[in-house]
Chains A and B, each alone.
Chain A
Amino acid sequence: MDEPVRTWSYVGVLVIEALVVLGLWAFGRYFSA
Chain B
Amino acid sequence: MHLLDWLIVGAYLGWLIRDGLRRTHSTNEIDGYLLAKRSLPWWAAGLSVMATQLSAITLVGTTGQGYSDGMRFVQFYFGLPIAMVILSLTVVPFFYRAKVYTAYEFLERRFDAKVRALATLLFLGGRSLSSGVVIAAPAVILSVVLGWNLSLTVLAIGAPTVVYTMFGGVQAVAWTDVKQMAVIVAGVAAAVVALVLGLPPEVGLTDSLHLAGAVGRLKTLDFSFSLTERYTVWSGTLAGLFLMLSYFGCDQSQVQRYLTARSIDESRRSLLMSAYFKIPLQAFILLTGVLVFAFYVFTQPPMLFNPVHQAGVESSNRAADYRALDRRFGEVFEERRKAAHAYAEASDRDDTAAAREARAAFARANSEMAATRGEAAALVREVTGDRLYEDVNYVFPTFITTHLPTGLIGLMIAAIFAAAMSSAAGEMNSLATATVIDVYRRHVRVDATDAHYLAVSKAATAFWGLVACMFALYAARAGSLIEVVNMVGSLFYGTLLGAFVLAIATRRANGTGTFVGMIAGFAAVIYSAGTGSVSYLWYNVVGTVVVVVVGLLVSAVTSPRPASR
Say whether B218 contacts A32, CB under 8 Å.
yes
Interface residues of A in 8-33 (CB under 8 A from B): 9-10, 13-14, 16-17, 20-21, 24-25, 27-28, 30-33
**Which of the candidate stretches B84-92, B402-410, B418-426 sits at the interface with the other chain?**
B84-92
Interface residues of B in 230-288 (CB under 8 A from A): 262-263, 265-266, 268-269, 272, 275-276, 279-280, 283
Which residue from A2, A17, A31, A32 sits with its C-beta under 8 Å from B279? A17
Q: How far does the alpha carbon of A14 sit from the alpha carbon of B84 in the complex, in Å?
A: 10
Which residue from A10, A14, A28 sits with its C-beta under 8 Å from B71? A28
Using C-beta atoms within 8 Å of the partner chain, give the interface range for chain B: 20 to 34
Say whether B81 contacts A17, CB under 8 Å.
yes
B34 vs chain A, min Cβ distance (A): 23
Say whether A28 contacts B89, CB under 8 Å.
no
Q: How far does the alpha carbon of A5 sit from the alpha carbon of B220 in the complex, in Å?
A: 32
Say if the beta carbon of B78 comes within 8 Å of chain A.
yes
B255 vs chain A, min Cβ distance (A): 18
Interface residues of B in 204-237 (CB under 8 A from A): 209-210, 212-214, 216, 218-221
Number of A-B contacts defined by CB within 8 Å = 70
Chain A residues contacting B276 (CB-CB under 8 Å) are 13, 16-17
Say whether A32 contacts B216, CB under 8 Å.
yes
If A1-B266, A17-B276, A31-B209 touch, whether A10 touches B85 (CB-CB below 8 Å) is yes
Chain A residues contacting B216 (CB-CB under 8 Å) are 32
Say if the beta carbon of B9 comes within 8 Å of chain A.
no
Total interface residues on A, using CB and 8 Å? 21
Chain B residues contacting A2 (CB-CB under 8 Å) are 262-263, 265-266
Chain A residues contacting B279 (CB-CB under 8 Å) are 17, 20-21, 24
Chain B residues contacting A28 (CB-CB under 8 Å) are 71, 213, 218-221
Say if the beta carbon of B369 comes within 8 Å of chain A.
no
A24 vs chain B, min Cβ distance (A): 5
Say whether B275 contacts A17, CB under 8 Å.
yes
B14 vs chain A, min Cβ distance (A): 33
Say whether A14 contacts B85, CB under 8 Å.
yes
Can you spell out 10 A-B residue pairs with CB atoms less than 8 angstroms apart? A1-B42, A5-B269, A10-B89, A13-B276, A17-B81, A20-B279, A24-B220, A25-B220, A28-B220, A31-B218
| 9 further contact pairs, Cβ within 8 A, besides A1-B42, A13-B272 | A5-B88, A5-B272, A17-B275, A24-B283, A25-B220, A25-B221, A28-B213, A30-B213, A33-B213
Please provide the 5 A-B residue pairs with the shortest distance between their CB atoms, ordered closest to farther. A31-B213, A32-B213, A28-B218, A17-B81, A24-B220
